């Protein structure tokens, strides 16, 4: 297994090059990629230009959002399924092996039994498209209290329903996104986790539930960076994964509400320290961060002066909200720069 960086799951944003730099600086071996954006970039210029930062970084593409709404009407679903073809084409070129999507927590369209059958059939169709490119589909669910608010019919809100649905899917490349927070809040136990086929675990996300919040009252905003000794037994989850030779991504996660007012560097640093601590507690080795290697090198050389040390290009004062209003402008600037060459 490897430590994987997902900016949206930590409530931060930025230009692709900046996010890659953050991932590398803090020792992440993989990164989740906005594949819809990659397709648009490739169409504006070409794949080589769109993927230059990822290829230069030599970082694993941990996964991408399949961008499909399982609660869409039939026509919209067909359109989204068709869009998955170019998405998977670009993902394949990047050697991405995992796509993700979320189950609806509720629906207004039909009652549970009929909706169960429809979602199962749609997951099989999505799996078939991705299988052509040797990509797995990881399915997640939400146990947050407000997830189904305003919906006429509740759908998958707990581990029992989550497991039942995924076991009904016949596509062999469709499996579980194990999110420790949703697993715990959704009534899941370690015993239920150990009953799963480890080969069907596509990705793992770790987040903590504050000790003063009960599972029954937990909202999405109550997701915090995982800890070694918190409410959720993250260490036992990682030990189970290691015992079953899981080789996929492990992603630290927290609510965007927890990121407000912090710099991106402080958010990512806290997240990577959390995963490293959990890995060590589970008996796994942890590679040193590049920045730690640099500090060790200067210490060995007897050079402790700060001025002698290289600085990183990430903007030190940038907060998690800085780039929210500038994403499209940045993409357009990249396009204009490419066009002028």
CA dihedral 202, 207, 211, 212 (to 10 degrees): -110
Q: Which of 169, 152, 80, 161 is nearest to 117 (CA)?
A: 169
pLDDT attached to residue 14 = 92
CATH label of the domain that carries residue 335: 3.20.20.150
Structure tokens at 198: 């480890």
**Digit-coded pLDDT (tens) for 271-323:** 999 999 999 999 998 887 776 554 554 455 554 444 444 444 333 334 444 44
Q: Taking residues 12-30, what's their average pLDDT? A: 93
Q: How far is CA 211 from CA 92, 110, 167, 229, 231, in A?
A: 42, 37, 32, 11, 6
pLDDT attached to residue 287 = 82
Name the β-bridge partners of 4.
30
Q: How far apart are CA 267 and CA 279, in angstroms?
A: 19
In this predicted model, which residue has the larger pLDDT, 341 or 270?
Answer: 270
**Digit-coded pLDDT (tens) for 1-18:** 999 999 999 999 999 999
Q: Which of 313, 249, 306 is nearest to 25 (CA)?
A: 313
Q: Taking residues 73-91, what's their average pLDDT? A: 97
Q: How many domains does the chain have?
A: 1
The chain-wide mean pLDDT, for the chain, equals: 88
Domain of residue 109 covers: 2-340
Distance of CA 40 to the CA centre of its chain: 21
Q: Taking residues 83-89, what's their average pLDDT? A: 96
Q: Taking residues 205-220, what's their average pLDDT? A: 96
- The dihedrals phi and psi of 105, each to the nearest 5 degrees, come to -85, -15
Q: Taking residues 248-260, what's their average pLDDT? A: 92
Confidence (pTM): 0.85
- The dihedrals phi and psi of 153, each to the nearest 5 degrees, come to -125, 130
């Amino acid at each position: 297994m490897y430590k994987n960086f997902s900016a949206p799951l930590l409530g931060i944003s930025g230009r692709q090059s900046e996010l890659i730099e953050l991932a590398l600086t803090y020792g992440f071996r993989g990164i989740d990629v906005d594949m819809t954006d990659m397709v648009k970039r490739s169409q504006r210029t070409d794949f080589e230009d769109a993927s230059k930062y990822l290829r230069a970084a030599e970082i694993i593409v941990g996964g991408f959002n399949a961008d499909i709404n399982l609660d869409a009407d039939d026509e919209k679903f067909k359109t989204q399924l068709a869009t998955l073809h170019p998405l998977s084409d670009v993902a394949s070129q990047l050697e991405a092996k995992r796509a993700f999507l979320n189950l609806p927590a509720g629906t207004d369209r039909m009652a549970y039994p009929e909706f169960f059958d429809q979602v199962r059939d749609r997951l099989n169709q999505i799996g078939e498209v991705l299988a052509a490119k040797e990509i797995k589909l990881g399915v997640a669910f939400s146990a947050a209290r407000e997830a189904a608010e305003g919906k006429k019919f509740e759908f998958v809100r707990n581990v029992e329903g989550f497991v039942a649905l995924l076991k009904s899917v016949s596509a062999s490349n469709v499996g579980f996104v194990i999110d420790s927070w949703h697993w715990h809040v959704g009534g899941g136990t370690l015993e239920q986790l150990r009953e799963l086929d480890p080969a069907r675990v596509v990705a793992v996300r770790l987040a903590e539930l504050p000790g003063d919040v009960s599972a029954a009252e937990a909202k999405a905003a109550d997701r915090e960076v995982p800890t070694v000794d918190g409410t959720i037994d993250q260490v036992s989850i990682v030990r189970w994964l290691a015992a079953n030779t899981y080789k996929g991504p492990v992603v630290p996660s927290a609510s965007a509400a927890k990121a407000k007012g912090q710099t991106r560097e402080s958010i990512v640093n806290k997240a990577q320290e959390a995963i490293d601590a959990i890995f060590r507690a589970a008996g796994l080795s942890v590679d040193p961060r590049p920045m730690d290697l640099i500090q060790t090198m200067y210490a060995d050389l007897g050079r402790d002066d700060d001025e002698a040390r290289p600085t990183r290009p990430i903007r030190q004062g940038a907060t998690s909200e800085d780039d929210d209003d500038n994403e499209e402008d940045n993409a357009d600037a990249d396009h204009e720069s490419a066009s002028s060459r």
